[in-house]
Amino acid sequence: MYILQESLFSFEELLKMQSKERLPIFFGVLDLRPYAKELRSRSPRGADGHCREGILRALLAAPIEHIHTFTALHHRLETDLRFRYQCGLSLDREAPSVSTLSRVFAELTKKNLAQQLFEDLVKRCQEDGVIDGSHVAIDSAAIHAYEKKQPKRKSEQTGNANWGAKFDSFGNKITWFGYKLHLAVDTKSELPLALEITPAHVNDGEKAPGLIRKIASKANTRFFMLDAGYDQLKVYEAARNVRAQAIIPLNPRGEKEPPAGFTSNGTPCCSMGFAMTYWGADGDDLKFRCPHATGKVECPLGMAACSSSNYGMVVKIDIKDDLRRFSSPHRDTKRWKELYNERTSVERCNSRLKSYLTANDLHVWGIQKVTTHQYLNAIVLLISALAAACKQKQIAA
């Protein structure tokens, strides 16, 4: 059973609650004082006296309340006194203005505080057993920009939003102007472990090695699951360098003929041309046996033509000979397929960020602010999981 299935259900239940019930549970597991301290204005000019912790709470509440803009957030704080109180803002003065909310968001971006809070929450989730981290899925998602669309050549010079294209699960080509959210997710809890924002045209395989290294620095990951778009040698090498295995289907596009004596999935063939039977791994060596000896085929020459042993011919393959083609567990085995099926966890995480929160509803521009926006959405998932886990512990006690 996945570690956090109950908690993920609680997250979706949390969204169904009324705001007055949801926000106390949500904020109950947070201590934002260290981060709010970094947001305090040190200049008398522009010091408006608003509680920075309260504004930070409001910015975090916005995604879960499906509030897309600073204007809408100001209006909610101004008209909903309960919401303002639950965010920790004073009721005896006006709500923070749109410019104040925008200014605090900009400061949050400038000091990378959203990323710091995200990484601290990931660490806490690991310490509390909410996140496991041994199996990780990586994928990218399209994020539509708030900026005005520009020609591709001009947009590439800005380093911000650009034109991107990818194929959906039905093989249809989709194009968009904006960014890519590159996301690494713990497959058991379906919670984000790391993310990165790039212009939309950046190839998925370019960012995967960096995400793999980042995850390896904070978790003892054994397997990384990625789709065929990541079928590049450098991705397999990145996983190998952190003592993990990349589980990626071979991409048929541009695929060369397999080496002589092998099937397309890396299975050696016997002298009669039959695919041999995978018989487990010993370290980096994959072991294969005569298919006639294992009852997989009825060879007209039997075992004697290849080996004098009644065990049949045995072939061992070193994974390091071709990290892309050879895998442990071996491709097409039941275990390999089970691992690859875990990749859907990153799709579900992406869906929650977009459908339930505001990851694809940008009203800020520039890659740095877009990154902060995505971190705030990812933080909401982590906080919700911690709140659900705390609630379960209280019930159990």
Domains along the chain with CATH numbers: 5-116+387-396 (no CATH), 133-250+342-366 (3.30.420), 258-330 (no CATH)
Segment 220-279, tens digit of pLDDT: 999 999 999 999 999 999 999 999 999 999 987 766 777 888 988 889 998 888 999 999
Among 237, 234, 264, 123, smallest CA distance to 186 is for 123
pTM of this prediction?
0.88
Which residue is associated with the tokens 């912790």?
Answer: 53
Segment 140-169, tens digit of pLDDT: 999 998 877 777 666 565 678 889 888 776
Q: Let me know if 187 is exposed, middle or buried by CB neighbors in 10 A (0-12, 13-18, 19+).
A: buried
Segment 329-364, tens digit of pLDDT: 998 899 999 999 999 999 999 999 998 899 998 899
Assigned token pair, 239: 């996983």
Give the Cα separation of 108 and 114 in Å (integer): 6
pLDDT band at 42 (very low <50, low <70, confident <90, very high): low
Are 164 and 171 in contact, with CB atoms under 8 Å apart?
no
Give the Cα separation of 185 and 253 in Å (integer): 27
Give the Cα separation of 42 and 214 in Å (integer): 34
Give the Cα separation of 83 and 23 in Å (integer): 8
Report the pLDDT value the prediction gives residue 1, as an integer from 0 to 100. Answer: 32
Phi/psi for 330 (5° steps) reads: -65, 145
Q: 114-123, 128-137, 140-149: which has the minimum mean pLDDT?
A: 140-149
Q: How far apart, in Å, are the Cα atoms of 6 and each of 3, 198, 335, 387?
A: 8, 33, 25, 12
